[in-house]
Structure 1
């Protein structure tokens, strides 16, 4: 197989992984149709509300995207900077903005991967060996994990399928 064919195949695989559908739930399915009254509710025995999970997903995705795009990346402090300050949504606009931001950053990551000028396997000079491909796999894995949590939270709140 030619190098260019391998490169195109890797791009296609990474994009499929980020778009979900092959082995895990997509973002739109996980967040759509949730009653706003439940956005800030933590089910008994679980540490996160839908709002906290959505914000965590948004913050982490932006963090990974920023790391991929710039040597001026400013690392966040774990765990405080990666989770919202409160379990409830400040207002309806905050929920909508978080969803729009997640979508926009997800598209920016897909665009970065799809760009033939992006060397997917070259270590990022400001990292410790990470590459765009590695960060894309990390992002897909992280999103799948927390979207699965969101589905569990929704089930326990009676807001998923037959719950």
Structure 2
């Protein structure tokens, strides 16, 4: 039931994000303005929340049908266990906030992606390659194309040798 409420919460957050983003000023020289990226994020929240809610309801219905088949006296499924999968993403966000100024954005994202992939029981070499490639892509898209300044970190002297 927590997934249903979380999904509804994500949909509400997405709607609020889209409504707030539509109030941003528009630039007459561009076809898109500062509201584009927040609107896309809000739309992603709405879609993700809907998928999460529908999936949770479908799983609950499936578990209830299976429980009734196994033992007709049971009408509900046992409660879900809270695992690391629910706790680690917020911890990863706090880790990024605290560590990115020292480690740099790219290295911090690599560590977070690698640990999340290992949590989902991905093979180590696949997790390492994927986290390095995707973190590099995310870093270069944000820093070079979207021109968002990301922390370089002081661990390697404030700049990474392969980043210009």
Whether these two folds match at TM > 0.5 is no
In proportion to residue count, which structure has more helix?
2
TM normalised by structure 1 equals: 0.27
Which of structures 1 and 2 has the larger relative contact order (alpha carbons within 8 angstroms, sep 6+)? 1
